[in-house]
């Protein structure tokens, strides 16, 4: 078989928290056939299969008694181009940010607000990743996934994916689908999203009055670099908690005591609150216990200062959750997948 299995492999290089755990078995799949082979091998050995991409949405709390399969397929292609709307397809193993930069180099608009998000293309639909007013669902056309129960390929259109805030069918059905490639509808016509967060202010400060998609991407890269630690330097998985959706009445009760509450209208009688604001107001920003901590510049980010275990990081997250629930009556939801 072309797939190479390795035994007792450290997963430290394959998770952005830099947590030191071992996989019982490890392999990398670059083709659909290798994915199928990995599934067959896991079944033959009587163990589960855990697919990973860039490891940027994982918290590993113990050694993994499974076959860890790194999705490593590569390939970018234009499927349709009518001069304005362009459909592109990317293999699951393509790193996300280089894919965004490739799309900009083709003169395409649509992904610029999602610049500098870590991870891979295949993992992006799982969480319906989003930033600065844009989510995957806004540019999504379809994807090809392997049904792990039947071994058959299935095509998913937008309406079949059940995309929601940091959620999708693929997250709701863990262990069912392996995403192989994803398709996006981009545009040669500028339709920029500038009014979420400090994007417009950053562009104006740089003297850019009529920005291009590349200008927006550069501005967002600068903003993210200032706010979020580089996982190569300081282990982290980006935003650790989802921004909670709460009833308007609860938000107003909190605002009565905290006039600077950060919130965004979410429709249907709900408001989205900034989880980072809640955590910072509760005094956790910059907290450190051993090598597990909360980033000093962004309270939404848990960090590994060196040798923190996944269990220590999870214990810290649970303490924060309990404190926010006690203070504000809000149950924060963890964003990364816990294994």
Question: Which sequence positions are flagged as catalytic?
Answer: 166, 239, 335
Which 8-state DSSP code applies to residue 14?
A: G
What is the secondary structure of 101-126 as a DSSP string?
A: HHHHHTT-BSSGGGTT--SBTTTHHH
Rounded Cα distance, 316 and 21, in Å:
19
Task: Identify the three-state secondary structure at position 73.
Answer: coil
CB 90 within 8 A of CB 71: no
- What is the rounded CA–CA span in Å between residue 123 and residue 51? 10
- Residues 301 and 294: beta-carbon distance below 8 Å: yes
Give the bridge partners for 59, in sequence order. 338
CA–CA separation, 100 and 112 (whole Å): 7
Residue 242 DSSP class: P
Task: Report the 10 Å Cβ neighbour count for 234.
Answer: 18
- Cα separation of 286 and 284, whole Å? 6
User: Would strands 288-289 and 292-294 be described as parallel, antiparallel, or unpaired?
Assistant: antiparallel
- Is there a contact between 263 and 193 (Cβ–Cβ < 8 Å)? no
Q: Look at the block and give the residue holding tokens 């362009």.
A: 86
């Amino acid at each position: 078989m072309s797939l190479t299995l390795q035994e007792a492999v450290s997963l430290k290089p394959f998770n952005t928290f830099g947590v030191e755990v071992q996989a019982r078995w490890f392999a990398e799949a670059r083709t659909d056939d290798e994915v199928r082979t990995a599934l067959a091998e896991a079944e033959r050995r009587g163990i589960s299969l855990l697919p990973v991409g860039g490891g940027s949405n994982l918290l590993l709390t113990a050694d993994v008694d499974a076959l860890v399969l790194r999705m490593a397929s590569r390939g970018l292609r234009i499927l349709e181009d009518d001069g304005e709307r362009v459909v592109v397809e990317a293999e699951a193993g393509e790193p996300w940010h280089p894919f965004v930069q490739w799309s900009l180099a083709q003169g395409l608009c649509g992904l610029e607000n999602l610049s500098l998000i870590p991870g891979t293309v295949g993992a992006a639909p799982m969480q319906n990743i989003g930033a600065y007013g844009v989510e995957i669902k806004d540019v999504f056309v379809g994807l090809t996934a392997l049904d792990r129960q039947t071994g058959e390929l299935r095509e998913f259109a937008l309406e079949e994916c059940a995309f929601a805030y940091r959620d999708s069918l693929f997250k709701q059905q863990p262990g069912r689908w392996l995403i192989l490639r994803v398709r996006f509808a981009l545009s040669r016509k500028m339709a920029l999203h500038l009014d979420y967060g400090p994007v417009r202010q950053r562009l104006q400060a740089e003297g850019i009055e009529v920005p291009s998609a590349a200008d927006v991407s550069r501005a967002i890269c600068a903003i993210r670099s200032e706010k979020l630690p580089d996982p190569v330097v300081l282990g982290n998985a980006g935003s650790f908690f989802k921004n909670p959706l709460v009833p308007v009445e609860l938000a107003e009760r909190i605002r009565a005591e905290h006039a600077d509450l950060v919130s965004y209208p979410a429709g249907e009688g709900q408001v989205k609150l900034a989880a980072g604001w809640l955590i910072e107001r509760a005094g956790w920003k910059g907290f450190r216990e051993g090598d597990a901590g909360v980033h000093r510049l962004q309270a939404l980010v848990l960090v590994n200062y060196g040798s923190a275990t996944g269990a220590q990081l999870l214990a810290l997250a649970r303490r924060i959750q309990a404190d926010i629930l006690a203070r504000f009556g809000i149950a924060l939801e963890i964003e990364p997948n816990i294994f």
